[in-house]
Amino acid sequence: MDFGKSEAAAGMKDRDPQWFEAMVTALARPATKFANLLVHDFDLAEEIVQEAFARMWASPNMPIEEVHFRRYLYRTITNLSHDYYRRLTRRSTSAAPEAEVMNPLEVVQERADDEVIRAALQILGLRERQAIYLRYFEDMSFAETARIMGSRQVTIRVLVFRALAKLRRHISTNPFSDQVAI
């Protein structure tokens, strides 16, 4: 009996384009929000999410269960975000600053957002923002957040606790702190 052919047939069965399309439809928006939190640029976040889905489709290790698929997707987005920051730091040492072209939609969105929270989130590091987002905006457990971030659960608990303390300190020292409470 030739096991190679049966394994290949099972792999083709698992790669159902309609199933994958349904996963993309279901997870594209939350994944883009997550990526946007990491890179602070909505257009770049969309590109990162598209690249993550493309890599997942091409990967022979793409998980089939939705829970594992989401974890794998968020981990891929995190890695692509880290890669972006690495390239940015290498490029920033040698490149001259470019003139920034403002997208009118982004300007309106930025003005609509609460500036106190935005400023507070900016003081957090990348891993802290990631942990806060997954825990509170995606409503994930500490265990799931730890799996996605590739850390131990206790590490994530401490990271979230310290990030919340930073946010509280920042907001309490802000003159507009009576407007927002965490």
Q: What is the pLDDT of residues 34-70, one digit of tens each?
A: 998 888 888 999 999 999 999 999 988 889 888 899 9
Q: Is the pLDDT of residue 156 over 70?
A: yes
- Size of the chain in residues: 182
Q: Is the pLDDT of residue 29 over 60?
A: yes
**What gap in Å lies between CA 146 and CA 97, rounded to an integer?**
37
| CATH level 2 (architecture), domain 103-175 | Orthogonal Bundle (1.10)
Mean pLDDT of the chain: 78
The two structure tokens encoding residue 25:
């439809």
Q: Where are the domains positioned within the chain?
A: 15-92, 103-175
| pLDDT tens figures, 124-145 | 888 998 888 888 888 888 999 9
Write down the pTM of the prediction.
0.56
Q: Is the pLDDT of residue 112 over 90?
A: no
**What gap in Å lies between CA 134 and CA 128, rounded to an integer?**
10
Q: Which residues does 52 contact at the CB level (< 8 Å), separation at least 6? A: 31, 35, 73, 76, 77, 80
Q: Which of 60-64, 91-95, 151-155, 174-178 is predicted least confidently?
A: 174-178
Question: Given pLDDT bands bounded at 50, 70 and 90, which one contains residue 76?
Answer: very high
Q: How far lies 167's CA from each of 129, 130, 170, in Å?
A: 11, 14, 5
**What gap in Å lies between CA 153 and CA 144, rounded to an integer?**
8
**What gap in Å lies between CA 38 and CA 113, rounded to an integer?**
17
CB 116 within 8 A of CB 180: yes
